[in-house]
């Protein structure tokens, strides 16, 4: 197992980033920070002061573009010339994923500093990169540390936290798919990792109203749940406890409908509704919870046509044929897919 060695969550903890890096390893003297331009503008002054306070004089900022294989390769070339001891991914899912992939390709340590709560990549070793020959998340580098400043994260667009809630709810069906694979094809099933992922989803279902009513408490709880879910993947050694048929649907939507088809967690949430129905779970509770947070529950809310929803359902299982899910058992054709989506009012 590769697990984060240190996780710090709190308000204004970004001021201690330099000390956090030093506490992870006193030999870290050369730091590379990867972020987008907007995050750099918001955090550069305070991050630089934290480096100075920790006597980290050698650090360099690298501004990232889209999370693509080409951009990861560009960053790897630039960072190889700089030769850092540690790479910090500071920003949303895009910057964290690029830093994670770059650290993996260069064999460097990686620290995750998320500025939004949009998905469980905060603490997991998995990335989703455009331009990959695999239309799903791939393994990269596990962060040795995670620093999550909830006050900083609260300034991100609220839609990103909603997306994170959708990603968390998806663990309900991901765990059921893993159980099904254990029973049907004798796949390894890790009870502890599965329970940890399930707990991350259950707190969203059980505490939804409280989380909505208190901004900082709710955000911190979502962040803790996302980190726990990512750690579950670290323990399992795969994305199994966190990614099942609902994620395959999300990846299929991106393939069928393109980049204007909602955020990752929004697509996962909609997929979870349909996969829960196939599993015989309380899909109406999932709809109720997603709606409570303001997350989409219908395809048209993320610009999906009925045909695109159906196409995505039919395509989903073929994206990762080695991963057994409820879709392998149900074998949806266009008619069955349309019937499923209509039965839960996704279309």
Instruction: Residue 254: count other Cβ atoms within 10 Å of its Cβ.
Output: 19
- What is the per-residue pLDDT for 135? 66
Question: How many DSSP H helices and E strands does the chain contain?
Answer: 16, 8
Predicted confidence (pLDDT) per residue in 11-40, tens digit: 999 999 999 999 999 999 999 999 999 999
Is a pLDDT exceeding 80 seen at residue 132? no
Show the CA angle centred on residue 120, arms to residues 117 and 121, nearest 5°. 100
On the CB side of 303, CA atoms within 13 Å amount to 9
- Is 173 in contact with 276 (CB distance < 8 Å)? yes
Q: Which range, 119-123, 157-161, 336-340, is most confident?
A: 336-340
Can you tell me the distance from the alpha carbon of 136 to that of 177, in angstroms, rounded to the nearest whole number? 16
According to CATH, the topology of domain 169-343 is Dehydroquinate synthase-like, alpha domain (1.20.1090)
Strands 86-91 and 109-114: parallel
Is a pLDDT exceeding 70 seen at residue 89? yes
For residue 159, name the pLDDT band (cuts at 50, 70, 90).
Answer: very high
Pick the CATH number of 6-156 from 3.30.300.20, 3.40.50.970, 3.40.50.1970, 3.40.630.10: 3.40.50.1970
Q: Write the DSSP symbol of residue 119.
A: S
Can you tell me the distance from the alpha carbon of 152 to that of 341, in angstroms, rounded to the nearest whole number? 38
What value does the mean pLDDT take over residues 274-303?
Answer: 97
On the CB side of 340, CA atoms within 13 Å amount to 28
- What is the per-residue pLDDT for 91? 94
Is a pLDDT exceeding 80 seen at residue 259? no
- What is the per-residue pLDDT for 16? 97
- What is the per-residue pLDDT for 263? 94
Tokens of 67: 């999370």
Sketch the domain layout of the chain as residue ranges.
6-156, 169-343
- What is the per-residue pLDDT for 93? 87
- What is the per-residue pLDDT for 258? 85
- What is the per-residue pLDDT for 31? 97
Residues 6+ apart with CB under 8 A from 179: 189, 194
Predicted confidence (pLDDT) per residue in 289-342, tens digit: 999 999 999 999 999 999 999 999 999 999 999 999 999 999 999 999 999 999
What value does the mean pLDDT take over residues 251-265?
Answer: 92
233-226-115-247 Cα dihedral, nearest 10 degrees: 70
Show the CA angle centred on residue 150, arms to residues 109 and 172, nearest 5°. 80
Is a pLDDT exceeding 80 seen at residue 255? yes
What value does the mean pLDDT take over residues 160-164?
Answer: 94
93: nearest Cα among 78, 108, 115: 115
Is a pLDDT exceeding 80 seen at residue 134? no
Instruction: Residue 22: count other Cβ atoms within 10 Å of its Cβ.
Output: 18
- What is the per-residue pLDDT for 187? 97
Strands 6-10 and 86-91: unpaired
Q: What is the CA radius of gyration of the chain?
A: 20
* Backbone torsions φ then ψ of 282, nearest 5 degrees: -80, 80
pTM for this model (two decimals): 0.94
Predicted confidence (pLDDT) per residue in 65-84, tens digit: 888 889 999 999 999 999 99
- What is the per-residue pLDDT for 213? 75
What value does the mean pLDDT take over residues 238-258?
Answer: 95
What value does the mean pLDDT take over residues 48-53?
Answer: 95
Can you tell me the distance from the alpha carbon of 54 to that of 71, in angstroms, rounded to the nearest whole number? 30
Mean pLDDT, the chain, integer: 94
- What is the per-residue pLDDT for 211? 87
């Amino acid at each position: 197992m590769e697990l984060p060695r240190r996780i710090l969550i709190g308000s204004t903890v970004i001021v201690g980033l330099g000390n956090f890096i030093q506490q992870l390893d006193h030999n870290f003297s050369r730091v590379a920070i990867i972020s987008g331009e907007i995050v750099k503008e918001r955090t550069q002054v305070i991050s630089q002061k934290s480096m100075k306070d920790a006597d980290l004089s050698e650090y360099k900022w690298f501004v990232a573009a889209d999370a693509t294989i080409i951009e990861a390769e560009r960053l790897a070339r630039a960072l190889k010339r700089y030769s850092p001891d540690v790479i910090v991914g500071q920003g949303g899912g895009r910057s964290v994923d690029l830093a994670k992939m770059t650290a993996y390709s260069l064999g460097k340590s990686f620290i995750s500093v998320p500025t939004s709560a949009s998905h469980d990549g905060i603490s997991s070793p998995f990335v989703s990169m455009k331009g990959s020959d695999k239309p799903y998340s791939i393994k990269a580098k596990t962060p040795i540390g995670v620093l999550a400043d909830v006050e900083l994260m609260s300034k991100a667009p609220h839609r990103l936290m909603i997306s994170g809630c959708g990603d968390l709810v998806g663990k309900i069906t991901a765990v059921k798919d893993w159980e099904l694979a254990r029973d049907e094809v004798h796949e390894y099933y890790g009870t502890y990792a599965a329970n940890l992922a399930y707990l991350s989803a259950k707190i969203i279902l059980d505490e939804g109203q409280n989380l909505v009513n208190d901004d900082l408490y709710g955000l911190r709880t979502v962040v803790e749940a996302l980190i726990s879910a990512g750690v579950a993947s670290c323990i399992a050694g795969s994305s199994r406890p966190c990614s099942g048929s609902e994620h395959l649907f999300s990846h299929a939507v991106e393939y069928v409908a393109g980049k204007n088809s909602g955020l990752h967690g929004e697509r996962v949430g909609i997929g979870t509704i349909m996969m829960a129905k196939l599993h015989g779970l309380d899909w109406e509770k999932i709809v109720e919870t997603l709606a409570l947070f303001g997350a989409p529950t219908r395809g048209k809310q993320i610009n999906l046509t009925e045909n695109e929803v159906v196409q995505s359902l039919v395509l989903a299982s073929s994206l990762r044929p080695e991963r057994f899910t409820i879709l392998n058992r149900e074998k949806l054709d266009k008619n069955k897919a349309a019937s499923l989506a209509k039965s839960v009012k996704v279309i």
